[in-house]
Structure formats: C-alpha cells, structure tokens
C-alpha cells in the first residue's frame, strides 16, 4: 500500500513533460509519414499512371491473376483475350501489372 500512496502523491513536472510529449508525437508522426504514408502514395500514383497508359496489344495481369492481352480499352473497362478466341471484359481498376512486373 505504501507504493500506491507514493505513486498517487507524485506530481508530474508541468513544463518539461508537456513539451517533450508533443515533440515525441511530432517525431513519431514524421517517421510514420516518411516510412509508410509517402511510399504508399507514390505507389498509388505509379499504378494510376500505368492504368491510364494501357494500350491495345499490351500483355497484362489482372488482380485475380488472369494473364491476357488487351484487345479494347474503354473508359472504365478493358477487354482481355486470355486464350485464342476467348475474350473477357474486366474493370480497368483490376489491371494489376504487366507480366514481367508480376514475376518480381
């Protein structure tokens, strides 16, 4: 019980701990930004640029793992030929990567 009474009687320093808390929070946020948020935003921009530059005849991989060649590019979807004479229509946002990028 003595420990509890000593713990309850201890009062924090008013000025120093407040500033150090805010400095630590800013440092943690900066670390999270540079190691997590910024690289993710960069990756999303690269994927968006790739999807906007899709061309007929280009080999791609869908998010579901379907390899195919683009036959038609529309505003929101593409038509892929996955085998001779077999075409499927998929959403443009589900195009993930070109085959050589998918193997890495």
pLDDT at position 1 over 60: no
Sequence-distant contacts of 67-75: CB under 8 A, at least 24 apart: 67/99
Q: What is the tens place of the pLDDT at every residue in 50-103?
A: 999 999 999 999 988 999 999 999 989 999 999 999 999 999 999 987 766 555
Domain boundaries, the chain: 14-53, 55-104
Q: Please state whether the predicted TM-score (pTM) of the whole model is above 0.85.
A: no
For residue 17, what pLDDT band results from cuts at 50, 70 and 90? confident
**Domain 55-104 bears CATH identifier 1.10.150:** no
CA distance linking residue 24 with residue 49, whole number of Å: 37
For residue 19, what pLDDT band results from cuts at 50, 70 and 90? confident
Structure tokens at 8: 């309850």
Structure tokens at 15: 């000025």
Structure tokens at 104: 């890495």
Q: Where are the alpha helices (DSSP H) in 1-104?
A: 2-9, 16-32, 38-52, 99-102
């Amino acid at each position: 019980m003595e420990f509890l009474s000593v713990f309850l009687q201890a009062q924090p320093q008013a000025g120093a701990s407040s500033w150090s808390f805010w400095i630590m929070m800013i440092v943690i946020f900066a670390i999270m930004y540079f190691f997590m948020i910024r690289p993710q935003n960069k990756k999303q921009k690269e994927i968006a640029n790739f999807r906007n530059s899709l061309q007929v005849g280009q080999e791609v991989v869908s998010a579901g793992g379907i390899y195919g060649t683009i036959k038609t590019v529309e505003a929101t979807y593409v038509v892929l030929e996955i085998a001779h004479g077999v075409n499927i229509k998929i959403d443009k946002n589900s195009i993930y990567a070109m085959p050589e990028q998918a193997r890495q």
